[in-house]
């Protein structure tokens, strides 16, 4: 697939979901070249962060939404999932499988239930990590206590929300999450390099750095 066709697919996916830029990218309106730069920064920067967190190698399972959802409209996965899987492979990770998680719809969003998270853990006990494009699982204190001590790492790369991800990072349930940095703390200089684009619009948070978020 050419880069141009990939970006057209991404823009269509954004238009269909209305979420990726609003909830996840939280960036102002961009011309086409800036959208492309932002997308490339997200894919490349996230893949590098995840690979580093996993020691540069390992088997991973990618989790995306099953039907009915926007993800399920794309055979093999939406453009961001496909591009990220390719980037993972380049950065030393092996994508064992892309798994479609049944969505549970609540007002205004889809959620990943504790029951389904446990089912995923039971199905993939031996992989090194689960890479979530479906946000963080909704877990209460009892759910967390019942989790197996030995389990795959869990890293959220899409639809992570600070109010859900932050406590799970503190508890060590999440091993990483892509969040949006504080816009007020971001400098106003236009980004030029891929790294500058990533640093301006994304923040990779781990259990070791979550305290820096405050709250």
Domain encompassing residue 10 = 3-213
Per-residue pLDDT at 187: 66
User: What does R_g of the chain's alpha carbons equal in angstroms?
Assistant: 16
Q: For the whole model, what pTM was predicted?
A: 0.83
17-21, 140-144, 162-166, 192-196: least confidently modelled range: 17-21
Judge contact between 165 and 179, C-beta under 8 A.
Answer: yes
CATH number, residue 190: 3.40.50.2300
Bridge-based pairing state of the strands 104-106 and 93-101 = unpaired
Number of structural domains the chain divides into: 1
Does the structure show a pLDDT above 80 at 11? no
Which pLDDT band holds residue 75 (cuts at 50, 70, 90)?
A: confident
**Which pairs from 7-11 meet CB under 8 Å and 24+ separation?**
7/32, 7/35, 7/36, 7/39, 9/74, 9/78, 9/79, 10/35, 10/39, 10/79, 10/80, 11/35
Quote the CA–CA distance of 198 and 170 in Å, as a whole number: 24
Per-residue pLDDT at 186: 62
Which pLDDT band holds residue 132 (cuts at 50, 70, 90)?
A: very high
Upstream peptide bond of 32 is cis (omega within 30 degrees of 0): no
Nearest of 126, 130, 125, 56 to residue 89 by alpha carbon: 56
CA pseudo-torsion sign 148, 103, 182, 197: positive
Which pLDDT band holds residue 108 (cuts at 50, 70, 90)?
A: confident
The stretch 153-178 carries a mean pLDDT of 96
Per-residue pLDDT at 88: 98
Q: pLDDT tens digit string along 56-71?
A: 999 999 999 999 889 9
Which pLDDT band holds residue 99 (cuts at 50, 70, 90)?
A: very high
What is the number of other CB atoms lying within 10 angstroms of the CB of residue 92?
Answer: 14
Per-residue pLDDT at 109: 86
Does the structure show a pLDDT above 80 at 151? yes
Per-residue pLDDT at 212: 84
């Amino acid at each position: 697939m050419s880069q141009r066709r990939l970006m057209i697919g991404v823009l269509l996916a954004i238009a269909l979901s209305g979420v990726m830029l609003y909830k996840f990218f939280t960036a102002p309106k961009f011309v086409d070249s800036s959208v492309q730069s932002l997308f490339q920064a997200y894919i490349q920067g996230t893949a590098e962060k995840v690979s580093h967190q996993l020691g540069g190698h390992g088997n991973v399972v990618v989790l995306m939404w099953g039907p009915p959802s926007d993800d399920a409209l794309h055979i093999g996965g939406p453009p961001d999932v496909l591009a990220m899987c390719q980037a993972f492979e380049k950065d030393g990770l092996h994508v064992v499988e892309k798994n479609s998680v049944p969505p549970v719809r609540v007002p205004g969003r889809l959620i990943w239930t504790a029951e389904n998270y446990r089912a995923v853990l039971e199905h993939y006990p031996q992989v090194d990590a689960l890479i979530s494009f479906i946000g963080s699982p909704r877990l209460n204190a009892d759910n967390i206590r019942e989790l197996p001590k030995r389990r795959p790492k869990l890293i959220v790369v899409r639809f992570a929300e600070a109010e859900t991800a932050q406590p799970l990072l503190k508890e060590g349930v999440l091993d990483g999450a892509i969040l949006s940095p504080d816009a007020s703390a971001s400098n106003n200089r236009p980004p030029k390099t891929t790294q500058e684009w990533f640093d301006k619009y994304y923040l990779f948070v781990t259990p070791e750095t979550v305290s820096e978020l405050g709250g």
